[in-house]
Amino acid sequence: MKKLKIISLMLFLAMGVNAQIHIWTSGTLENELDDLPESIINLPITGYIDIRDIDYITYRCYNLKNLDLSDANIVEYVYSVTPYSDNELPGGSLYGLPFLTTVILPETLISIGSGVLNRVAQDDFGQIGGLTSIEIPEGVTSIGSNFAANHPITTIVLPKSLTSVGACFIDCFDWSRISEFTIINKNPSPINLGYSYFHLFLPTITVYVPFGSKTAYENTNVWKELNIIELPDETTEITEIPTSNSATIEWQPYANATGYKLLIYSDEAKTNLLDAIELDITGKKQNIKGVQRAQGVGISSYTIENLQNNTTYYYSLETLGVNNVVLSKQNGDFTTQSSTGINDVEMTKTPVAFYSLMGVKLQDEPASGMYIILYDNGTAEKVTK
């Protein structure tokens, strides 16, 4: 039986996030993983877990990189006379895991204790990576202090249900390395820092907030002390002006942008990248081939040359912030015009007369046969039906 478990576990390791461990009885994760926890890199868990399983992950799954608890339920348990409640991620959970890069928290989670996801300081361990983003599920009402400390967090999703936040947003982040991050929630969650010397550093911290929410953040305690910058409006219209072998992309510039990146693809799935045009805020290209079109007043634009006629292309326009952080990303497509080897103005020509091959003017356009069409731009064309 043990041999069968080991074989199953090895298959799980090979499959990564495509495999799952389902726990029917909380406290039995150790039995499911047997004696190979140090080999676990990807760990998706469904079913029921408690503090014993969480501690096993924390202290035994040392090389864990990806943890998915989205469909796991944390159940109550009295551990060493200390009671732990349902849907509570206890303080110190998932502490010190040096290689963790992805965590999906349980959808049923209600509270997060202090020191959760706290990682050994990078200078002490020298590891590379860590969490760059974290999403707190809707339904969580409180987060303790020092949440996700020493991880290079840049993006945080906060739920509307959040009512209590410890000193996690200040005390946990290493602001010598991270001076900005992005909040995706339009509604600012209240923060109660209490007494903290980190108040001195609040004005140096930049927080990007969703379009339309800057006023709300500037009127909320603690948030108003930070440098609040509103992200670009991702509904801003982008204009495509194609010809037979080129296309000009125009967009409204963003005041807080440091540059833009225009990615051109030949397929809708955006797997075949044809070109990446990097522009600074003045519209000047950076180390990328292409022909720059003059920038109009209040408009940023770029012209992509050497395209195939009558072909559909797909693009992504990224607005970049400090350190090339992507502040917004808009997608679109355009189709170049057809080209028959004659002047583009001929593409709008209108028939004015019809003639036989002998030069006799016809009353109407023939339903079949060979004849000549005379257009309003002075050109003629032989047609066979």
Domain boundaries, the chain: 2-230, 239-335, 344-384
Q: What pLDDT sits at residue 154?
A: 76
Q: What pLDDT sits at residue 298?
A: 53
- pTM to 2 decimals? 0.60
Residue with tokens 């739920």: 159
Q: What pLDDT sits at residue 93?
A: 93
Asked if 123 and 145 count as a contact pair (C-beta separation under 8 A), the reply is no
CATH class held by domain 2-230:
alpha beta
Per-residue pLDDT of the chain (385 residues; tens, 9 = 90+): 333 333 334 434 444 434 468 999 999 998 887 667 778 889 999 999 999 999 999 998 888 899 999 999 999 999 888 899 999 999 999 988 888 899 999 999 999 998 898 876 554 555 556 888 888 898 998 888 778 877 877 777 878 788 777 655 555 555 445 566 777 778 887 665 544 445 556 677 788 888 999 999 899 877 888 888 898 988 888 989 898 888 989 888 888 888 899 999 999 989 999 988 888 766 555 544 333 333 333 568 888 888 999 999 999 999 988 777 788 889 999 999 987 544 444 456 788 888 787 677 888 888 888 887 887 776 777 787 7
Phi, psi of 167 (to 5 degrees): -80, 35
**DSSP SS3 for 344:** helix
Tokens for 288?
């990328």
**CATH number of the structural domain 239-335:** 2.60.40.10
Instruction: Return d(Cα 184, Cα 54) in angstroms, integer.
Output: 28
